[in-house]
Structure 1
Amino acid sequence: MDDPARGFRFGALAHRNFRLFFLGQGVSLIGTWMQNIAQGWLVLELTNSPFYVGLVSALGSLGVLLLTIYGGILADRTDKHRLVVLTQSLSMLPALGLAALVWTKTVTAWHVAALAGLLGVVNAFDVPARQALIVELVGKEDLMSAIALNSSAFNAARVIGPAVAGAVIGALGVGICFFLNGVSYLAVIAGLLAMRLPRYERRPGGASAWAGLREVVAFIRSDRRVSTVVVLMGLFSIFGFPYLVMMPVFARDVLHRGAAGYGVMMTSVGIGALVGALGVALLGRQIPKGPTLIAAGGSFGVLLVAFALSKVYLLSVALLALTGGAMIVNNALANTTIQTLVPDALRGRLMGFYAFVFVGLAPLGSLEVGTLAERIGTPAAVALGGAVTTLALAIAAWRVPELRRT
């Protein structure tokens, strides 16, 4: 661990290794959001079906659903830094492949789905290792700051990426978005390689993977706060967060806007989320985690219902900003609560389990909202998801008083 640089205001930024990670990740995330926008728009143009938009998004998370728990076990048993360098390098390939397919005019929906699935497999190992690596870069004392700053970078990219993508798609097509995303991975790889970390010492061989999984499940069940947060994030992943998958449909079919309007809508989500993340980073330990998580999660569900029912573009954009802010405060506090309570020896496995419910269950959510959108309409499908998340949060607040006191 490097010595803190005293001149930085935010605690986590006092660590050189985290600064390298933060800056490289920030550049790469802009490319990721450009690809997310381009991919949704490309699938809609190729298929003209909300179901297929949801299906491709689901396939992008299928690998996480199937493999991320094993990815967490691997993260506890190997050099996390080297593992993240490898996964970030592999993540370049699907992006560059999509760019080539678009530019050669041979792309089909199944190409997009297959490459999204490949990226999902890589993410199954990347997400738990990257999340568990953060504490090694900053230590537990600055962990909450690091999580909030990572959320800030993610959502700053959510502001910049969709805005750039919307303009670029209209002027140059979707192919350039995929290419720029592929190139952007070089920034985070360079940052990782420039870090100065202690030599990794391999731990003696431990129990089997199955025994390791039983150990983390036993820990989750032993603490009602942890188990409640995990269940809530699973429900949010299935019923709440998939509203983002339906943004191309809202933009084109509900609010009657093109690619530029779609980009503005996603940018609005990012602005709200960025403000929320920066608020968490600034206030840090002053925030009561449990009550704030409950308030943010409940607000997210109510705002989601309001957005789904809106037919006015500017009102929808404003509601998306508020929804994004509530969503990221909820997510940052859920992550912080879990990472604060978990023992170091279980961190990789627990983050693998957390990624399973937070990212891995997203395929079910994407399929759920896509299927419902085909049957009852996109606004009704998204509004129903908002109602479910609000109800789940209310039940958790009532039945788990220790969460309110966290």
Structure 2
Amino acid sequence: MTLPSSLRALRYYNFRLYFFGQAVSLIGTWMQRIAISWLVYDVTHSAFYLGLISFAGQIPMLLLSPYAGAYVDRHSRYRTLLATQIASMIQAGALAALVFFGFYHVLTILLLSLMLGVINAFDTPARQSLMIVLVQNKKDLPNAIALNSSMVTMARLAGPAAAGILLSTFGEDVCFGLNFVSFIAVIASLLLMKLNIPERKKHTEPIWKNLQEGFAYLKGHRGLRTAIALMAFTSFIAMPYSNLYPVFAQTVYKGNVTTFSWMNSIGGLGALLGAVYMTRQKENANFLRLIVLSSSLFCLSMMLFAYTQNLVLALFFIFLGESGMLAQIAATNTYVQTRVDERMRGRVLSYYVMAFQGMQPLGSLLVGWAAHQSSAPLTVFWEGLLGIAAALAFIPSLRSVRKKEDRERLEKSRG
């Protein structure tokens, strides 16, 4: 069977295993994420605690990502990913058991979120670095990344919808338990893979030397540095706005858990649109321009959402904003993956992970505090305004990088 061009990466056996195994597991992950947010807000009625839980789950990305990237470059990416998935399964099982038996407190959830954050700090660079060996032809890497983003957003669409039904029917413990079971799929898919990965050379130099080399490489590559810097600012300022969905659902739209799950699901549908758009991009697409345009769409939609009193209109702006957000994430990831030197892949991708996921906890804490001090709509409006300002400020630098890359490509074709 001939696959359409937009699905071409699925013809690779290992990528297919990865794709479908992750799809099942990520639905469970989203169910757990939604259930935690609802449980914490239902118990505390505090936007600050929502931000604090998110902070605990993501701060390890900021603190540990460079070390984790160097670790991945020194050890087997495959074994690292398998170990982190098993550890994540244990964390999910512990959370499910504690909530089922009623032995939980906000502090307990905070500590388990912190534990998962540490696991993810190693999991994400290992996962991103493994992507290159799941497809045999490097030209199909952008498509693999976009399909991976599509799979993540499909899970984001299905997970919150399922969580909304399960939360109102059974409770949070069922969501946590199903997440535990979902890890069987991804662990099985990893064990079934047929990978031909050369053994890593034994490193004798200290790991801090590898950290230093990775930072120097990133500093010397203006394109990578600029794209990752904009990702960091957007992640810090704009992306944490979704932590305030429970506040909007209950206080602005006078809704309940169903309203909350609709907001997340519509956001997932918008992100899916952005991911589908990215599957059509070729290896030589202008990803830098896509980064700026998608970031601007995301932040403008946030500003419009902030003071919309009509729920249907608010869902429309969430849809637009999330499509822009996903396109920025996928475009940045693809740009980094297709330009980085193989020996630096883990370290540079760790800086991307730190920018994308590591900056969000600081932003979550700030956004939770700001919403507590003022209001959720005012906070989201300012997040969008600052995000647009950042995207516009980066245009001259990104344009300069693109011109340089075009010149280098032309010289290479002539040579």
SS of 1:196 mapped into structure 2? coil
Deviations 1:1-58 (A, max 9, x none): xxxx965642211210010000000111101111111010000011110000000010
Residue 265 of structure 1: aligned partner: 263
User: What aligned pairs does 1:1-400 form with structure 2 within 5 A after superposition?
Assistant: 7=3, 9=5, 10-139=7-136, 140-198=138-196, 200-285=198-283, 287-400=285-398
CA shift, 1:216, in A, is 1.6
Q: Check whether the contact 2:139–2:283 (CA below 8 A) recurs between aligned residues.
A: no
Deviations 1:221-270 (A, max 9, x none): 22222111111111111101001111111111121110011001100000
SS of 1:207 mapped into structure 2? coil
Q: Distance in 2 between matches of 1:89 and 1:286?
A: 37
TM-score between the two structures when normalised by the length of structure 2: 0.94
Q: Distance in 1 between matches of 2:397 and 2:17?
A: 42
Deviations 1:158-210 (A, max 9, x none): 11000110111011111111111111111011000000112641313153222
SS of 2:203 mapped into structure 1? coil
Q: Check whether the contact 1:397–1:403 (CA below 8 A) recurs between aligned residues.
A: no
CA shift, 1:79, in A, is 1.0
Q: Which runs of 5+ in 2 are unaligned?
A: 406-415
CA shift, 1:212, in A, is 1.3
Amino acid at match of 1:395: A
CA shift, 1:72, in A, is 0.7
Pair 316,403 (structure 1): closer, same or farther in 2 beyond 3 Å: farther
Q: Distance in 2 between matches of 1:196 and 1:404?
A: 38
Q: Check whether the contact 2:92–2:177 (CA below 8 A) recurs between aligned residues.
A: yes
Q: Distance in 2 between matches of 1:64 and 1:290?
A: 24
Amino acid at match of 2:160: P
CA shift, 1:100, in A, is 1.3
Amino acid at match of 2:40: V
Q: Check whether the contact 1:240–1:386 (CA below 8 A) recurs between aligned residues.
A: yes
Pair 330,403 (structure 1): closer, same or farther in 2 beyond 3 Å: farther
Amino acid at match of 1:248: P
Q: Distance in 2 between matches of 1:89 and 1:289?
A: 35
Q: Out of 305-314 and 210-219, give the one that drifted further.
A: 210-219
Q: Check whether the contact 1:303–1:322 (CA below 8 A) recurs between aligned residues.
A: yes
TM-score between the two structures when normalised by the length of structure 1: 0.96
Q: Distance in 2 between matches of 1:132 and 1:124?
A: 13
Q: Check whether the contact 2:92–2:176 (CA below 8 A) recurs between aligned residues.
A: yes
Q: Distance in 1 between matches of 2:394 and 2:258?
A: 39
Q: Distance in 2 between matches of 1:388 and 1:102?
A: 39
Q: Check whether the contact 1:72–1:125 (CA below 8 A) recurs between aligned residues.
A: yes
Q: Out of 78-87 and 136-145, give the one that drifted further.
A: 136-145
Amino acid at match of 1:236: T
How many residue pairs get aligned? The number is: 402
- CA-atom RMSD, angstroms? 1.5
SS of 1:202 mapped into structure 2? coil
Deviations 1:98-151 (A, max 9, x none): 211221122211111110000000001100000000001114221101110010
SS of 1:136 mapped into structure 2? helix
Q: Distance in 2 between matches of 1:365 and 1:291?
A: 25
Q: Distance in 2 between matches of 1:329 and 1:80?
A: 26
Deviations 1:346-378 (A, max 9, x none): 001111111112111211011010000011111
Q: Distance in 1 between matches of 2:155 and 2:281?
A: 22
Q: Check whether the contact 1:397–1:404 (CA below 8 A) recurs between aligned residues.
A: no
Q: Distance in 1 between matches of 2:380 and 2:3?
A: 45
Q: Distance in 2 between matches of 1:39 and 1:270?
A: 18
Q: Distance in 1 between matches of 2:19 and 2:305?
A: 32
Amino acid at match of 1:311: Q
Q: Distance in 2 between matches of 1:380 and 1:168?
A: 32
